[in-house]
Structure 1
Amino acid sequence: MRLLILGGTEFVGRALTDEALARGWEVTVFHRGRHPAPPGATVLRGDRTAEGGLAALDRGEWDLVADTWSGAPSAVRDTARLLAGRAAGYAYVSSRSVHPHPCPAGLAEDGPLVDGSPDAGDVPYPEAKRGGELAACDAFGERALLVRAGLILGPGENIGRLPWWLLRVARGGRVLAPGPYASPIQYIDARDLAAWTLDAAARGLGGPYNLVSPPGHTTMGELLDTCVRVTRSGAELCWTDSEPILAAGIAPWTDLPIWLPPGEDHTTLFTADVTKALTTGLRCRPVRETVADTWTWLESLGGVPPQRPDRPAVGLAPETEAKLLGG
């Protein structure tokens, strides 16, 4: 298989590239050169947001194009149109955010969608991802695979959610642990996303697929307990109900990454129907593997994870945590 990955040097794009190279595929990465390209990949340079920035893609044929773009849909439109006659399929890593908020429990791929346009410029994230989907479908039709991910974790994460928890737990002491302990969470390890996407594309699958772990895969409690075990820090998790956390002005998801209190936000993000992906081969590794491998990766970086410049840093200020815990 000949894969063209648009990006391919960070987190999800890098996971796709690494997985394809491990399979012996011929991999070409098209990127701006801000990060090193994976060894073994052919490199094309360009900036899809600049005039003439796609010139390096004027030639070449591929079995699959993989695209993780989350900016202006017009960039997906222009790239997909350019490649439509020279690639067999187009896998666009989208998001479950294409559904209007809030979502009912158990929402499948056929739920309502936000408005979007393949011709749009800079628009909010849900509309950007929906516009990207439409752009991929306009150019590739049934050959467009729409990978609607939820929360993505794993080694290489450049948003900072799981890295923040691991580094906080590693510091030890009393750690604010947001309850309920048994609160279910759904996520996808970037490596499992990559494996399923390449398998699905190789089989010629198209259309939308929710791609997160199945219900019951793990809980907030198991996730943080695992952080304590893999870091061997001896941290004390202080489980706290959501009410005092919210009353203290602590923001779910940003101040306390991954966590959402019971309610419509939690239902929207953590109760997706993933039957369609499971029946087409999705396999999700245990949470202990995702956490342990992320910690190993963090340690290799000296405990300083990368941070996407277009996303705000996450995490709770130590003084705010200490105040809520009474010291």
Structure 2
Amino acid sequence: MKLLVLGGTAFVGRSIVEAALAAGHEVTTFNRGRSGADIPGVATIRGDRTDPESVAAVAHQEWDAVFDTSGYTPRNVLAVARALEPVAGRYVFMSTVSVYADWPVKPLTEDSSVLECPPDAGPDFGEDVEDGPTQYGYQKSGCEEATRLTFGVDRATCLRPGVVLGPHEYVGRLPWWLRRVAAGGDVVAPGDPDRSIQPVDVRDLAAFALHCATVGQGGDFNVSAPIGRETFADFLTACRETTGSDARLRWVPDEVLLRHGVRQWSEMPLWRTFEGVWNVDSSRALAAGLSCRPIAETVAGTWSWVRSVDEAREQHERAAEIGLGAAREREILASLS
């Protein structure tokens, strides 16, 4: 297959490119060349997706499928999709569970209500609501609508991952946990150790995206590991075993962390108390070909990558808000005695 990846150098896009190359496909990436190095084996077209002349450079070729991993504004996705529709067989858009109106409060299926956003909305549409919808979610919902409006439901595939972990994760959630556990000592472990979690490995997300393009699978899909398969204890135990650490996990109840004002999701990565966070039904994707490796394999693969990179060079601006500081951790642990 002849494939075009919009983006293709960072995390999800990078994994799609690697999976496609490994499968023997012909891959071209379209990006500005600012967010990462090109992957050996791809053809690269430099350009800005917001510039019509740049987009025209990829719209004069025919593509079996386009993977959009860099679309965030509906108006722009609509323009890009319209330019590529005459020459592309399928458009695979990387969306998010944040498009759901009830995320993260309630359990989700693909039939859950999504946020309403016009397909031609600009970057200012939507708003952030505490513990509710976000402008990011509104924008991604509008991007999905732009994709379906242009390519139709049969030729458009919208993937809605929840938490994505794995090698090259720039947000830094799993890398932070790995480094903290590797450092040893008493480690604040959040909430109930038996709390179900269902992050998806970036390599499994990429494989499913490629599968959808290969078999011509359209529609909307939640992409997450199965509900109830693994727990937060499984996750942190894997971090300890993978790093060879002697860290002692100190499980701190939700109410204690909340009383100390610990910021969910950022200061304590992957910890969030809402019912819907780890209750995303992905049975449709699993039936359509999604395969999810155990969390221990994701942890091991990420640790291997973490040890191979220069932390300062790989640090992303979003990673600055991730993780519990040492003084805060000592304060919380002291309150338990």
Q: 1:33–1:45: 8 Å Cα contact kept in structure 2?
A: yes
Q: How many residues align?
A: 323
Change (3 A) 1:60 1:308: farther
Among candidates 316, 322, 325, match of residue 330 of structure 2: 322
Secondary structure of the residue that 1:12 maps to in structure 2? helix
User: Which consecutive residues of structure 1, in runs of 5 or more, have no partner in the other structure?
Assistant: none
Change (3 A) 1:73 1:306: farther
Deviation at 1:236, TM superposition (A): 1.2
Q: Partner of 1:130 in structure 2?
A: 141
Partners of 1:87 and 1:322 in 2: CA distance: 55
Q: Map Cα deviations across residues 243-297 of structure 1 (whole Å, 9 max, x no partner).
A: 1111001011010011112xxx2x2221111111111111100111000000000
Partners of 2:260 and 2:21 in 1: CA distance: 48
What letter is aligned with 1:152? V
Deviation at 1:179, TM superposition (A): 1.8
Q: Partner of 1:200 in structure 2?
A: 212
Bigger mean CA deviation after superposition, 22-31 or 297-306: 297-306
Q: Map Cα deviations across residues 115-139 of structure 1 (whole Å, 9 max, x no partner).
A: 1122122141011110110111111
Q: 1:45–1:56: 8 Å Cα contact kept in structure 2?
A: no
Confirm or deny that 1:236 pairs with 2:248.
yes
Deviation at 1:51, TM superposition (A): 5.8
Partners of 2:109 and 2:59 in 1: CA distance: 37
Q: Which 4+ stretches in 1 moved above 6 angstroms? A: none
Q: Partner of 1:107 in structure 2?
A: 108
Q: 1:6–1:65: 8 Å Cα contact kept in structure 2?
A: yes
Bigger mean CA deviation after superposition, 1-10 or 92-101: 92-101
Q: Partner of 1:226 in structure 2?
A: 238
Determine what percentage of the aligned residue pairs are the same residue.
42
TM-score by length of 2: 0.92
Change (3 A) 1:88 1:214: same
Deviation at 1:56, TM superposition (A): 2.3
Change (3 A) 1:310 1:57: farther
Secondary structure of the residue that 2:64 maps to in structure 1? strand
Secondary structure of the residue that 2:82 maps to in structure 1? helix
Q: 1:105–1:272: 8 Å Cα contact kept in structure 2?
A: no
Secondary structure of the residue that 1:113 maps to in structure 2? coil
Partners of 1:17 and 1:192 in 2: CA distance: 13
TM-score by length of 1: 0.94
Q: 1:184–1:215: 8 Å Cα contact kept in structure 2?
A: yes
Deviation at 1:85, TM superposition (A): 0.6
What is the aligned-residue RMSD (CA, Å)? 1.7
Deviation at 1:101, TM superposition (A): 2.5
Partners of 1:70 and 1:217 in 2: CA distance: 31
Q: Partner of 1:155 in structure 2?
A: 167
Partners of 1:74 and 1:89 in 2: CA distance: 19
What letter is aligned with 1:185? I
Partners of 1:309 and 1:79 in 2: CA distance: 27
